[in-house]
Amino acid sequence: MSEETPQEPAVEQTPQEPTKSWVNEDGTWNRDAMGELGQHSIVEKYATAEELIKGTINKDQVLGKKIDDILSSDDESIQGRLKEIRGVPKDASGYEFNVEIPEGMEQLSESIAAYKDIFAETGIPNDAANRLIEKYVESTVSRQNEWEAQMQEVYDGEKSRLESKWKNKFANNIERSANALDLLELPELAEDVRGAKTPQALKFAEAVVEKLIPLIEDDTIIEARQTQTISTIKDRMDDIDSRLAGLVSTDDGRRSPEYRKLLDEKSELIKKLA
C-alpha cells in the first residue's frame, strides 16, 4: 500500500492593485498617483505633460542661446571673468611653466617666451599650456640627444679612419693643416682644424694636407708661423714698454710688484727673439 505525498496548502494570492498613471487621459496630471511630487511647483507651472516637455525644450534653447551670447560677448569684464574661470592668464606674462631647461639648451627659453604670446592670443589655460611646453621641451631634448649621438658616431668613425690612414702622423698632420690655414690668413678655419673636434674639421684637415700643402713648401709654412710668432712677441714687448713708462716715473711705481713682473716678462721675451 503506497503512502500518499502530503500536499502543501495553496497560497492565497493577494490581488495587486494596478499602477495608477501619473497622466490622465486628457493629458493633465494625476496628482493623487504622484504622491508628494504632485505638490511640486513644476506641476503647478506646467498643467500637462506636453507643456512640461515643450517648456524643457524651450528652456534648453534659451540657455544655450545665453551661453553663446556670453562666449561671443565683446564686454571685457565678461571675457576677463571667463578667462579667470578657465584659468587663462590676463596676458602672456602671466603664464608660469614648471619645466627645467637642460644645460646647453638655453635657447629654448626664447622659444618658450614666444609661445606665451601665442597661448595668450588663443586663450589657452595655464595648465594646458604647461603640459604643451613640457612635451615641447621633452621632444626637443630628445631630438638634440639623438643628433649629438649621431654626430659623435660620425666623428669617431672619421677620426678612426684618419688615424688608420696617417698612423703616427695624425697629430702632426692636424697641426700642419692648421698652420697652412694660418698662412692663408684664415684664423677661424685654422682654429677649428687645430681643435679637430668635428667630423667637418677632420675632413677639412685631410683636404688641406693632401691638396693644399703639396702646393706650399713646408719651410714656407714654418717660416710664416715663426714670423707670426715674432710679430706677436714684438707687439707684447711694445705693450710692456708702454706700461713700464707709466710706472718708472714714480718711486712707488718702480717699487711695485707689477713693475718687477713686467721686467721679468720682457727679459723672457728678449730671450725668445735672440
Interval 179-189: pLDDT, tens: 888 877 788 88
For residue 76, what are the CA distances in angstroms to 69, 79, 118, 124?
14, 5, 19, 17
Label residue 222 by pLDDT band (50, 70, 90): very low
What pLDDT, on the 0 to 100 scale, is given for residue 245? 80
Greatest mean pLDDT among 1-10, 107-116, 163-172, 236-245: 163-172
Label residue 58 by pLDDT band (50, 70, 90): low
Whether residue 70 has pLDDT greater than 70: no
Q: How many C-alpha atoms does 165 have within 13 Å on its Cβ side?
A: 14
Share the mean pLDDT of the chain: 75
Cell of 231: 710679430
Cell of 212: 693644399
What pLDDT, on the 0 to 100 scale, is given for residue 232? 63
Cell of 226: 715663426
The pair phi, psi for residue 28, each rounded to 5°, is: -80, 170
